[in-house]
Structure 1
Amino acid sequence: MTTAATRSTTAAADARIPAQHPFAEHLRRVAAEGTGQGSWTPDDGPLPSLYISHGAPMLFEMTDWMTQLHDWARSLPRPKAILIVSAHWESAPLSLSTTRPTELVYDFGGFDPLYYSMRYDTPDATDLARQVAALMPDTEPVHEHSRRGLDHGAWVPLKIMYPEADIPVLQLSMPTHDPARLLALGQRLRTLREEGVLVIGSGYMTHGLPFLTREMFAGKVVPGWSTDFDIWAAEALASGNVDELARFSTAAPGMPYAHPTVEHFTPLFVTLGAAADPAAPVTTTIDGYALGLAKRSFQAA
């Protein structure tokens, strides 16, 4: 349950955002839209699983991208709970974040101090934690943290998609980068979708941060390694070629520049594993580029 104290804490943090800030404008747009979105019911059937390119805190300054994310969220039934796997929590053994509102993980540097005071105090997620733990085999039990909050790969996109912070959210760590194991993990989570839980893999379709140039940062240039990888991934996803996607480190053009480290691509396999058919074509919801990086995002039925 969302308490008045939880709502007021989040609202107070958001109130400190300058009125002219793009995220403040986003919140005004969201408020103007009202609460017409229906909550999930069994009649809606399973929710899709999502792969989101999440960006950094500067996403709060990108009006078009914020609108795309929020419109996507409103196109779906409002979930009962959200389980998210982020590129920014690589952990073995498999772990869950705290079930209660706590400090967020501000795992970034060099940004406006505003972003280090943001809050995302969602309702208690104990029930979801029990559901997730029950789905894990004895060979891979899930450890529940009492204090670890959501990292920016989780709270940044969710604060934009569901700014009311009234949906229970848990983060699940990514215990491996092996596509087969991540597909199997996603498959274990599949039944959650039938109970109104939104399963999300959060990364970035290309993530060559070490190779950013001033021209890319200014939005003037998209490098060939980013477009080549994005086109390759789009074609593989459209044809349901999971085997090709699993060979990304050696088969994809643009490597290793597109992913000098792989953690922003591999959450995709959790998303596909949670789908009813991982080899079915997905629905692209967001494409294009930001800072020269591909922000392709999709949902799988």
Structure 2
Amino acid sequence: MATTVNDTFYISHGSPTLSIDESLPARHFLQSWKDKVFPQKPKSILVISGHWDTSFPAVNIVPRHDTIYDFYGFPDPMYKLKYPAPGAPELGLRVKELLVASGFKRVDEDRERGLDHGAWVPLMLMYPEADIPVCQLSVQSERDGFYHYNLGKASAPLKDEGVLIIGSGSATHNLSSSKRNLGGSGVVVPWALEFDTWLKDALLQGRYEDVSHYEEKAPHAKMAHPWPDHLYPLHVAIGAAGENAKAKLIHHSWQLGSLSYASYQFTTAS
């Protein structure tokens, strides 16, 4: 019988340089994952990454993962990194089964796609042995937060089957602003701080419905997320944990003045 996994997580993976930049506190946080955050070894991992955006929910069903370098103009060593984690075909089909049973009429199977950097960069730091089977689930950026909450809610039974559910995005994700701050003072810009603080308070206070409607509720929502793809993995993690789950801030740091690495743990209420 599989060990139950009580917690779900939202990890801010920030910039692809997280894969090599030893100066980033978020990198050291993820490297301490098994010692300080989640010592339990899951049977498999379901990752919802902001870098896989499809019209309908999709799962990747592969025997072993290729490493996708879906970033451009970064240092050469980053393109030599590999994370050959085994695939989790049975998990992919189980996710599809759960989503269809919950009313998602179409769920696609991708039998070629490997892991994008929203998945392999944090996993490389969290589980460097690459020995845990992984499945990815896509986001649908043309839908809303409540839709993604329901995507997570449908996936919740996986926790009782030993599956660790991780949403991977960024608490703030405005690349144009980050590029303007290259070489800057490191001071966090006000709009990013205000949105990030609102998000933290809403999560820690359990105001998950507000988070599902963050576009109307949060300050500077469109500035913090010109596109919603990097926040929707958070909604999936919340949905999988349940409406009475307790949120905990497990890491917080900044890069380039506007890129928040805020990461959260959601513990299902007993």
Q: TM-score, normalised by structure 2?
A: 0.89
Matching residue of 1:112: 75
Cα distance, 1:188–1:213 mapped onto 2, change above 3 Å? closer
CA displacement at 1:217 relative to structure 2: 4.6
**Using the alignment, how far apart are the partners of 1:264 and 1:193 within structure 2?**
23
For structure 2, the residue ranges without an aligned partner over 5 or more in a row are none
Matching residue of 2:248: 283
The aligned amino acid for 1:273 is G
Which of 7, 14, 17 in structure 2 is aligned with 1:58?
17
**Using the alignment, how far apart are the partners of 1:145 and 1:53 within structure 2?**
25
1:179 aligns with 2:113: no
Matching residue of 2:205: 239
The aligned amino acid for 1:227 is L
CA displacement at 1:216 relative to structure 2: 5.5
1:163 aligns with 2:124: no
**Using the alignment, how far apart are the partners of 1:162 and 1:174 within structure 2?**
23
Matching residue of 1:12: none
**Using the alignment, how far apart are the partners of 1:107 and 1:169 within structure 2?**
18
Give the secondary structure class of the aligned counterpart of 1:100.
coil
Contact 1:99 1:129 in 2 (8 A): no
Give the secondary structure class of the aligned counterpart of 1:144.
strand
CA displacement at 1:164 relative to structure 2: 0.6
**Using the alignment, how far apart are the partners of 1:144 and 1:219 within structure 2?**
45
The aligned amino acid for 1:267 is P
CA displacement at 1:255 relative to structure 2: 2.9
**Using the alignment, how far apart are the partners of 1:50 and 1:154 within structure 2?**
13
Cα distance, 1:118–1:187 mapped onto 2, change above 3 Å? same
Matching residue of 2:174: 208
Matching residue of 1:32: none
**Using the alignment, how far apart are the partners of 1:163 and 1:173 within structure 2?**
23
| Percent of residue pairs bearing the same amino acid type | 37
**Using the alignment, how far apart are the partners of 1:101 and 1:117 within structure 2?**
18
Cα distance, 1:251–1:199 mapped onto 2, change above 3 Å? same
- After superposition, what is the alpha-carbon deviation per residue over 1:11-49, rounded to whole angstroms, capped at 9, x for unaligned? xxxxxxxxxxxxxxxxxxxxxxxxxxxxx963xx42311
Q: TM-score, normalised by structure 1?
A: 0.80
- After superposition, what is the alpha-carbon deviation per residue over 1:204-224, rounded to whole angstroms, capped at 9, x for unaligned? 001121113555654522100
The aligned amino acid for 2:41 is R
CA displacement at 1:279 relative to structure 2: 4.2
- After superposition, what is the alpha-carbon deviation per residue over 1:77-128, rounded to whole angstroms, capped at 9, x for unaligned? 0111000111111112211123222432211111012212221111241221
Larger-Rg structure: 1
Contact 1:96 1:171 in 2 (8 A): yes
Contact 1:224 1:254 in 2 (8 A): no
Cα distance, 1:181–1:84 mapped onto 2, change above 3 Å? same
Matching residue of 1:149: 114
**Using the alignment, how far apart are the partners of 2:185 and 2:66 within structure 1?**
33
Give the secondary structure class of the aligned counterpart of 2:264.
strand
Matching residue of 1:258: 224
Give the secondary structure class of the aligned counterpart of 1:88.
strand
**Using the alignment, how far apart are the partners of 2:34 and 2:215 within structure 1?**
31
Cα distance, 1:218–1:97 mapped onto 2, change above 3 Å? farther
Which of 226, 233, 240 in structure 2 is aligned with 1:267?
233
